[in-house]
Amino acid sequence: MEDRKDRVFSETLGQIKPFEFNESVAHVFDDMAGRSIPFYSQVEQMTASLAATFWQEDTAVYDLGCSTATCSLLVYEEVQKQYGIVPGGFEIHAIDSSAPMCTEANEKLRSRGIDSGTIHVRHGDILDIDIKNASVVIMNYTLQFIPPLKREGLIRRIVSGLCENGVLLVSDKTFQTHTDISRIFIDKYYDYKRARGYSELEISQKREALENVLVPYHVKEEETLFLKCGFSSVDIYFSWYNFTSFICVKR
């Protein structure tokens, strides 16, 4: 069995470089996500179930920052479950700016026998791509990596690419309104990582690497951004300390 355990930050690094979704991260990403994102598999499953509920015939699904296509694959399975078969006219655009992630995604889809005509993995920057005729756009743990000044433009493009009653599903690491509460939630998060086998060294080196790369918004700030960009209904479908998942519907 090939070793896919995340050890990216397990050795002392002389110089800590800004975090990148490079080949060594892509290779162990599923283990990293499973042990670093609280309730990762449950959130992905909930996202997929909501995506299938909001999907409309002859429209597209976008998975922005798809990494290894875990969510795209679950959406495919949920659509199959909710509609009996995968309907004609159903397609997912899974996009990521990391070439190694796209390679991992394509390998995973091939190993599951998924037709590349249904889930299209594309190497690209979500700040540049066209989003059109979408009933579902998913952005799980990706918006937090977009430079803050570019977030509003991206959300506005998503709103205009969504059809009536289309949905945007976003999960992110978030801050709380009160700094003292945020600090407690972040400590709880580090306890979560320790309990999943990460050492103090791994936790502190990764925290340093992510500084200014992963920039969380406050929960209310993120909610306000979605409303300001044109979503009429914004709600939370999952929350755990400093992690929040938002559902935004265009009416």
Residues of this chain that bind ligand SAM (CB under 6 A) = 21, 33, 44, 65-67, 70-71, 95-98, 101, 125-127, 140-142, 145-146
Between 21 and 238, name the residue whose CB sits nearer to ligand SAM: 21
Q: Are strands 91-96 and 119-123 parallel, antiparallel or unpaired?
A: parallel
Buried b (16+ CB within 10 A) or exposed e, 214-248: ebbbebeebbebbeebebeebeeebebbbbbbbbb
CB of 226 to ligand SAM, least distance (A): 18
Type of residue numbered 146: I
Query: Looking at beta carbons, which residue is closest to ligand SAM?
Result: 65
Nearest to 44 by CA among 172, 145, 140: 140
Between 150 and 178, name the residue whose CB sits nearer to ligand SAM: 150
CB of 32 to ligand SAM, least distance (A): 9
CB of 47 to ligand SAM, least distance (A): 8
CB of 126 to ligand SAM, least distance (A): 4
Between 142 and 244, name the residue whose CB sits nearer to ligand SAM: 142
CB of 11 to ligand SAM, least distance (A): 22
Judged by DSSP in three states, 227 sits in helix
Judged by DSSP in three states, 34 sits in helix
Q: Transcribe 57-75 into DSSP letters.
A: TT-EEEEET-TTTHHHHHH
Between 64 and 79, name the residue whose CB sits nearer to ligand SAM: 64
Judged by DSSP in three states, 244 sits in strand
CB of 143 to ligand SAM, least distance (A): 9
Q: Taking a C-beta distance cutoff of 8 angstroms, is the pair 64, 142 a contact?
A: yes
Q: Transcribe 139-194 into DSSP letters.
A: EET-GGGS-HHHHHHHHHHHHHHEEEEEEEEEEEEEE-SSHHHHHHHHHHHHHHHH
Between 39 and 184, name the residue whose CB sits nearer to ligand SAM: 39
CB of 25 to ligand SAM, least distance (A): 8
Between 21 and 190, name the residue whose CB sits nearer to ligand SAM: 21
**Angle subtended by helix axes 179-195 and 200-210, to nearest 10:** 130
User: Phi then psi for 4, rounded to 5 degrees?
Assistant: -120, 25
Between 88 and 108, name the residue whose CB sits nearer to ligand SAM: 108
